[in-house]
């Protein structure tokens, strides 16, 4: 196939779909969500949780900012995390 210079609508559409925002990790992985909720209720900070997940080599990496976003989201507020 010949290389085309410039805008190609089909290619742009495929790139846009691949960059589309996906569900948050804590929504896609309910077992991880329950673990986070449990640890916050035991008094762990998001920094401690993220560090422990990293130390344990969790299959789904999660940063402290993602935990904070979850805690302050509608779902997190329903769980009464703070």
23/69: higher pLDDT: 69
HSE, side-chain direction, 13 A CA sphere, residue 37: 15
User: Does pTM surpass 0.85?
Assistant: no
* Tens digit of each residue's pLDDT (9 = 90 or more) over 44-81: 999 999 999 999 998 888 999 999 999 998 888 888 87
* Tens digit of each residue's pLDDT (9 = 90 or more) over 35-44: 999 999 999 9
26 with 66: CB under 8 angstroms? Answer: yes
């Amino acid at each position: 196939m010949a290389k085309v210079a410039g805008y190609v609508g089909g290619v742009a559409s495929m790139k846009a779909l691949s960059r589309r925002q996906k569900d948050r990790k804590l929504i896609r992985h309910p077992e991880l969500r329950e673990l986070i909720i449990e640890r916050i209720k035991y008094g762990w900070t998001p920094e401690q949780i993220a560090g422990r997940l990293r130390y344990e080599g969790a299959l789904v990496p999660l940063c402290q900012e993602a935990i904070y976003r979850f805690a302050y989201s509608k779902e997190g507020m329903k769980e009464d995390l703070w």
